């Protein structure tokens, strides 16, 4: 284990979660209102992609990729025993992420190859830095961490190439969502029961989540097969059967984690609720495969509820834990998460009117934006300032 030296640079670049969680929350706050203006026809984004491709791409490879980077640059040092990346390497990576967002918005012109290169550089650099840390720490078993990052980078390139070839990256939409969903199944399947087990033990409860075992492996395989079918042949009956099986298996998997016992810990409840959107997404995709539901319902359950909800909950918990604060959500963060979860449900109703002048699309955008506004209000000063609260014994973090 390397000895930690005091960091004298900007607090924002003192730890991997800080710049990328801040970038993700700010981007999540701003990008949906911009998309609503685009959807209404009041604004036309620049760049090389169709508006709907821009929207989906930026939610996956803009917002999602920033969260993945923040998580990995915080977790990898725990796995390798090396000091975390900080300072100018993080600043360069953040600049690459910003450059990608500008390229997608048309700041560098509409040459699709140039846009693809500018946008793709971030994930490639993330993979390179993680590989360097793992090799330098001789922690060979964690080379597998490169697989999801590399797949996400490859999916990004595929998204661009499909958009160039066909004008609309429909397969790329599903591929990007599927990869993030699988990451949640994989990582969430470790941290959610682990955090739950620790909290139940501290609370004096005799109950414990079922440890990771063969059923979890089977659930991951079932989910992976179902997602692969959804990406490649979403309307095939066999895909519908696989998706339905995955939905049932992940409902059972979630029930084994005893989320019903965590009602006294909102930060934990959030994780269980967010994971619950995955089997809901599988079920909606299964109905879509048989023609009983629209093609967008699964994408919004996966994207808003599953990916949006889980990433927001993880960023909240990690920020609290890694700045030494008690793992207590408080009213603002709790309401913020609830708003995002409601946005996923409301979005299922499309353009149906809820109130005069307010349909499902506008209400979902309002809820998402309000949720992220509350998160930014609480997390921004913790992420951007050097103040660290005293560490408490037994404090949970991304390691537990």
Task: Tell me the pLDDT tens digit for each residue of 13-30.
Answer: 999 999 999 999 999 999
What phi, psi does 321 have (nearest 5°)? -65, -45
What phi, psi does 386 have (nearest 5°)? -75, -10
Q: What's the rounded Cα separation, in Å, for the pair 157 and 160?
A: 5
The first and second tokens of residue 117, run together, are 């290169």
Q: What is the DSSP letter of 84?
A: P
Torsion-angle region of 395 (φ positive above 0: left; ψ -120 to 50: alpha; else: beta): beta
Q: What is the DSSP letter of 399?
A: T
Q: What's the rounded Cα separation, in Å, for the pair 286 and 280?
A: 10
The first and second tokens of residue 316, run together, are 């909240």
The alpha carbon of 170 is separated from its chain's Cα centroid by a whole number of angstroms, namely 20
Buried-exposed string 251-265: b where 16+ CB fall within 10 A, e elsewhere: bebbebbbbebbeeb
pLDDT in tens, 357-388: 788 899 999 999 999 999 999 999 999 988 65
DSSP H/E element including 115: helix 112-136
Question: Average pLDDT for residues 271-284, to the nearest whole number?
Answer: 98
Q: Is the pLDDT of residue 392 over 50?
A: no
Q: What's the rounded Cα separation, in Å, for the pair 299 and 18?
A: 29
Question: Average pLDDT for residues 146-170, to the nearest whole number?
Answer: 95
Residue 123: half-sphere exposure toward Cβ, Cα within 13 Å: 25
Question: Average pLDDT for residues 64-90, to the nearest whole number?
Answer: 82
Domain extents in the chain? 10-168, 177-386
Question: Average pLDDT for residues 141-166, to the nearest whole number?
Answer: 91
pTM higher than 0.85 for the full model? Answer: yes
């Amino acid at each position: 284990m390397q000895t930690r030296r005091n960091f004298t640079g900007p607090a924002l670049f003192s730890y991997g979660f800080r710049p990328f969680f801040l970038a993700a929350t700010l981007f999540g706050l701003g990008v949906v209102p911009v998309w609503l203006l685009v959807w209404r026809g009041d604004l036309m984004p620049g760049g090389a992609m169709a508006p709907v491709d821009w929207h989906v791409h930026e939610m996956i490879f803009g917002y999602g990729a920033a969260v993945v980077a923040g998580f990995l640059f915080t977790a990898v040092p725990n796995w390798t025993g090396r000091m975390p990346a900080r300072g100018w390497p993080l600043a360069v990576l953040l600049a690459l992420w910003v450059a990608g967002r500008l390229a997608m918005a048309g700041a560098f012109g509409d040459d699709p190859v140039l846009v693809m290169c500018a946008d793709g550089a971030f994930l490639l650099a993330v993979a390179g830095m993680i590989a360097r840390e793992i090799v330098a720490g001789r922690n060979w078993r964690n080379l597998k961490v490169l697989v999801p990052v590399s797949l996400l980078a490859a999916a990004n390139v595929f998204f661009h190439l499909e958009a160039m070839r066909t004008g609309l990256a429909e397969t790329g939409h599903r591929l990007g969502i599927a990869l993030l969903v699988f990451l949640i199944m994989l990582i969430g399947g470790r941290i959610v029961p682990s955090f739950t087990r620790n909290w139940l033990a501290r609370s004096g409860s005799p109950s414990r989540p079922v440890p990771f075992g063969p059923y979890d492996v089977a659930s991951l395989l079932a989910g992976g097969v179902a997602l692969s079918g959804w990406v490649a042949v979403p309307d095939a009956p066999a895909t519908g059967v696989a998706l339905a099986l995955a939905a049932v298996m992940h409902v059972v998997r979630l029930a084994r984690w005893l989320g019903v016992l965590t009602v006294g810990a909102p930060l934990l409840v959030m994780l269980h609720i967010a994971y619950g959107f995955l089997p809901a997404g599988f079920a909606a995709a299964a109905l879509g495969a048989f023609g009983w539901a629209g093609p967008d319902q699964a994408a919004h359950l996966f994207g808003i509820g599953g990916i949006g909800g889980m990433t927001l909950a993880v960023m909240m918990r990690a920020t609290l834990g890694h700045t030494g604060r008690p793992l207590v959500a408080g009213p603002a963060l709790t309401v913020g998460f609830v708003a995002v979860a409601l946005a996923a449900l409301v979005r299922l109703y499309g353009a149906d009117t809820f109130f005069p002048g307010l349909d499902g699309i506008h209400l979902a955008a309002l809820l998402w934006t309000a949720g992220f506004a509350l998160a930014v209000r609480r997390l921004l000063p913790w992420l951007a300032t050097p103040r660290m609260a005293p560490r408490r014994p037994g404090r949970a973090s991304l390691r537990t």
